[in-house]
Structure 1
Amino acid sequence: MKNRFSTKITTFVIVILLFVIITMVYASYLISENFYKENLRNDVEHRLRSHAIAIEHQFDLPTINHVFLMEQKEDVHLGLFDQNLQLILQSDSLDDEWVDTYREWIKDQLAVEHPFPIIDDVHTGIGFHIPHIWGVHPIVTQGEIQGYLFMDQDTEKFEATKAKLIQLFGIMGIITFIIGFFLLMYLTNKMSRPLREMGRATTEIANGNFENIPKESGSDEVGQLARDIKSMAHQLKEYRDSRQQFISHISHDLRTPITYIKGYSAILKDSADLKEEERIRTVEVIYNEATRMEHLVQDLFQLSKLEEGRIGIQKEKFQALPWLSQLIESRTMQLEKKNVTLKLRSNQEDIVLFADEFHLSKAVVNLVENSIRYCQSGDEIEVAVFKEGKQVCINITDTGIGIPEADIPHIWDRFYRVDKARTSHSGGSGLGLAIVKQIIELHNGTVTVQSQVGVGTTFSLCLPDST
């Protein structure tokens, strides 16, 4: 692919690498050139000063000739000028134009105060094809200036090796580039391979295949991304399975009352000589099934709004004991029908709750009805309200059949039933505990459960204490 991440990062780094290599090669050349010229300047300065001292020490023709003989080199011109800058002696034959150029330069230097010897880099001149280094030093004997010793040193030796230096630096740059290129290709491929795998995995996940999950690799950002994708796939799979179970459960729980209503309605329709007693029983069945279906739809609607946060909580302060007493009183018929005893207990009389009374009543009633549903004749239920630190807690404890430990983490799921044989006729809609959890969480509270099979179950609702 032309737009692959590895291609983009490789191209970017190669451009940076080329820029760095070219910059380093050019900088290395400049450093080498400056180093050579600086050493050459120092050498010219040393030689010029030494020759001037020798001539000043013994100002005669043999000494001067000896000095000029020492500087007879192809890359050096030595000249001796008198006080009036007339050329007295030179190391080799020079054109008058060269001599005039030297003379003008010396005049310019002497016009400004400089410490001697005066050394300067000259980059332009007559017939110059390479930079030169010029220097001048006065010849002083008995306190009087007798003349000026001039030296012209070209940089031909460095210029001759310039091509070799450029070639050497170029080879070093190419080798560095090749090594960096292959190392970069290896690293980018190693980095992009898990990203490509995760890209393929996310495509599979988008197509509904949650099994092709990338392996976790390392503890870096790429490994963290793989773990996040794995977690996302797991949650999406749970959501898909939950949705399928939801559709299956709602279809089953709606189909049953509809079947009853349809069947008994047909009896009313087709049986003209139906006895009054049978007609009343038939109408009662239709009414009960319609009521059950209505409750199921209401629970679904309420749970949907709770999960979407579309239900507002209107908190107010109210006394806990009178409120709980009314709720228990409203369930007297259910308790008597199953021969179950319910007790209310509190460690103090004036406990105040700060909550939405209507929705909290719904949560407590759901838990009480759930306890009644799973109790046997003669069992007991206890509702206890008490303060615990900065919380007010309501415990609903029963001596019913209990919940197996493996089922406890799932009881808050929609339509989950511990006893799979139960239906909405005998086990409720399967939405009650899910509604309880949503209501308590909207109050910034917690709901927990402890249960033991054959011993009983305790649900604990804890809300922040407003007092």
Structure 2
Amino acid sequence: MRSIYTKITAILMLGFVIQITIVAGLFKFILTKNIIDDINRNEQQRQAKLQLAIVNLQKMIKDNPSGVQEYLNQYAKDKNMNFIIKDMSGNTIYFTNNGNGDKREIQETGFIKIKDTPIYIVYAYFPTGINSLAKDIERGETKYYLLILVVSVSLFVSLLIYRILALPLKKLSKAMAEVDYGNTTTVIPYYGNDEVGYLCRNFEEMGKRLQKSEKNQLELIQAISHDLKTPLTSILGYIKRLDDGKITDENKRKEYYKTIYRKALDLKGLIEELDEYSFFNVKAKYEIQQVNAKVFMEDICHELKQEVIQKGGRLEYINNIDNKMFIMIDEAKIKRVFSNIVENSLKYAGEKCKVTIRTTAINKNLLCEIYDNGKGVEEEKLSKIFERFYRVEESRSREMGGTGLGLAICKEIIQGHGGQINAKNMQGKGLCVYFTLPIKTMEG
């Protein structure tokens, strides 16, 4: 298999050979013809410029002698030329000094006449620069210089292509061949700030992301395995006892059935959480509608209060917004955010947990704060609690169930609504999770 370097070099060399052949065969003929045509055309243009100036000068000398010099200066500037006008005795009457950067000039001569009698001689000077090319062609040297130049450029470009393109691509190809499951990180020793350099660095970053993804997959499998096994083991144990017929006390049997039901609900919640997480991974669609912020918050706090009380806790709602504020949200998903955060507080705040929800309008945003009276989270862990699969207390999380996806799902939902979510420790103790939702309309 031929390398890309060989192919590119071969194509370039073939192109250069074709160019050399064409240039060597047609260069002198075409360029000489063009130059001759240019010389003839320039001659005609010079004569036309000179005759136009003479016609205008004859009229101005007769009607407006004082404006002759100004006219000459402007005309010479516009036409990129110079004039010297002398009388018939050789005395200079008018001249211009329009520098054109070329000391070699072509002279054209004409006469200003009054009643067919010459009174002034007009010398017009035009810049030149094309005649030197004709001399090079006549000597037959230009094409040889061009041949040497083309060969040199082809060799230089071939080497440059190898160093800039082919060499780093070879390194990248080698690194890609080494990537395998469990071996996704690699370093490519190319640090250029060009497209190939960006490609190499992006490949390295991709390897790191793959490694992190593999780690997350393993953690997810372990979490699912444990979180499914724990309630399933309990369910199987209780069912076996009931099936053995050893439990004759009806109250005891009802207690077992309730326990089985609770464990089944735990399994259902886990599956729903995983299903919801996968839903957000494929860019969830939101059913956005306008709702009254105060009414919505009162409804959701009423629902959550009953759940918190059932689990032995307390919930307080502090409202700092009026009835004229409206927000555009997907109600079900925002309710999921509150539910996840409150459930998180109940898990970690311990017995007699008190959860407080406070709402405030700040800078065209609805600020929602949910905080508890627990022990909070270590400062170095605060920035990680919204990461997928992260658990503040691994052993405690596994005992209580869950995959470490609750707050990650909250982050996805809030950002999907154009808001921001964060966490902080309250003064003294307790974790506060707070987020914003844009206020879309305001009545009144």
Which one has the largest radius of gyration?
Answer: 1
Q: Which range moved further: 381-390 or 241-250?
A: 381-390
* Counterparts in 2 of 1:291 and 1:235: CA distance versus 1, 3 Å: same
8 Å Cα contact 1:334/1:372 also seen in 2: no
Residue 188 of structure 1 corresponds to: 161
Q: Which amino acid letter does the alignment assign opposite residue 17 of structure 1?
A: F
Query: Residues 301-345 of structure 1, C-alpha deviation per residue, up to 9 Å, x if partnerless?
Result: 22222332354424231242x433333333445645776553322
- Structure 1 residues 240 and 387: alpha-carbon distance in aligned structure 2, compared to 1, 3 A threshold: same
Q: Could you tell me how far apart the structure 1 residues matched to 2:31 and 2:303 are? A: 100
Q: Deviations over 1:347-400 (max 9, x none)?
A: 332233321222211111211221232224566433111112222121112332
| 1:430 counterpart SS class | coil
Mapping for residues 149-188 of structure 1, pairs under 5 Å = 176=149, 179-188=152-161
For 1:247, which of 205, 214, 221 is the aligned residue? 221
Q: Partners of 2:268 and 2:303 in 1: how far apart?
A: 20
Correspondence for 1:214? 188
Which whole-Å CA distance do the structure 2 matches of 1:378 and 1:275 have between them? 32
Corresponding residue to 1:326 among 299, 321, 327: 299
Kindly provide the amino acid, as one letter, of the partner of residue 347 in structure 1.
N
Which residue does the alignment assign to 1:403? 377
- 1:242 to 1:218, Cα distance in 2 relative to 1, 3 A: same
> Deviation string for 1:58-112 (max 9, x for gaps)?
xxxxxxxxxxxxxxxxxxxxxxxxxxxxxxxxxxxxxxxxxxxxxxxxxxxxxxx
Partner of 1:14: 13
- CA deviation string 1:15-69 (max 9, x = no partner): 23223333444466559999xx9xxxxxxxxxxxxxxxxxxxxxxxxxxxxxxxx
Note closer, same or farther for the CA distance 1:453–1:345 as it changes in structure 2 (3 Å cut). closer
**Structure 1 pair 456–173 and aligned structure 2 pair: CA distance change class (3 A):** same
Distance change >3 Å, CA 439–CA 10, structure 1 → 2: same
Does 1:416 pair with 2:390? yes
Is there any run of 5+ residues in structure 2 with no aligned partner, and where? 37-138
Q: Percent of pairs identical after alignment? A: 26
Question: Which of the residues 219, 225, 237 maps onto 2:199?
Answer: 225
For residues 45-444 of structure 1, what are the structure 2 equivalents within 5 Å? 176=149, 179-191=152-164, 192-205=166-179, 209-272=183-246, 274-320=248-294, 322-332=295-305, 335-336=308-309, 340-350=313-323, 351-377=325-351, 380-426=354-400, 428-444=402-418
> Would the alpha carbon gap of residues 212 and 319 (structure 1) be closer, same or farther in structure 2, given more than 3 Å must change?
closer
Structure 1 alignment gaps of length 5 or more: 38-164
8 A contact 2:291–2:328 mirrored in 1? yes
**For the Cα contact (< 8 Å) 1:338–1:376, is it kept in 2?**
no
Which residue of 2 is the match for residue 464 of structure 1?
438
Q: Aligned to 1:215, what secondary structure does the other structure show?
A: coil
Counterpart CA distance in 1 for 2:435 and 2:31 is 82
Does the aligned pair in 2 maintain the 1:341–1:378 contact within 8 Å?
yes
CA drift of 1:208 comes to 5.3
TM-superposed deviation, 1:194: 0.6
Contact 1:246 1:414 in 2 (8 A): no
How many residues are aligned here? 338
